[in-house]
Amino acid sequence: MPPQMKLVAITLDCPDPPVLAAFYQQATGLEPHPKSDADFAGLNGEHGLFIGFQRVDDYLAPSWPDPIVPQQLHICFKVEDDLDVAEARLLELGAGKPDHQPHGDHARVLTDPAGHPFCISTR
């Protein structure tokens, strides 16, 4: 039997870890990790999942959907609100919205302040 693995951490490269951690903290309500600093910030998530944000010099934001700079990571979030309400809130927090929206009415693709694409869906 293959070993079972439990996902415990996801880390995103970015130019400014505290800024990106603040965006995701406001968007998700997750608690900031007490040892976060300018080079590495984190959020403590549900069921022990940790989301980290790591400073990378000369960071290049993904150019999704153009593959010139790959998306690097894609996170999907379920939202409790109507998609329009959730999208408006995230845009106010600093998210971007690419013109390319491949999921029709059931999901939206947004980008975080460092350019990483992510989806929101009510499903």
pLDDT at 46: 78
Q: What distance in Å separates the CA atoms of residue 122 and residue 83, rounded to the nearest whole number?
A: 7
Predicted confidence (pLDDT) at residue 112 exceeds the cutoff of 80 = yes
- pLDDT class for 25, splitting at 50, 70, 90? very high
* pLDDT tens-place string over residues 61-105: 988 888 888 877 888 999 987 899 999 999 999 999 999 999 888
Pairing of strands 107-111, 117-121: antiparallel
Matching residue, tokens 């999901």 = 107
Distance CA(109)–CA(62), nearest Å, equals 13
Q: Give the pTM.
A: 0.86
Contact 18, 43 (CB under 8 A): no
Residue-averaged pLDDT of the chain = 91
Cα(121)–Cα(65) distance, integer angstroms: 19
Instruction: Report pLDDT for 73.
Output: 80
For residue 13 the two structure tokens come to 């490269």
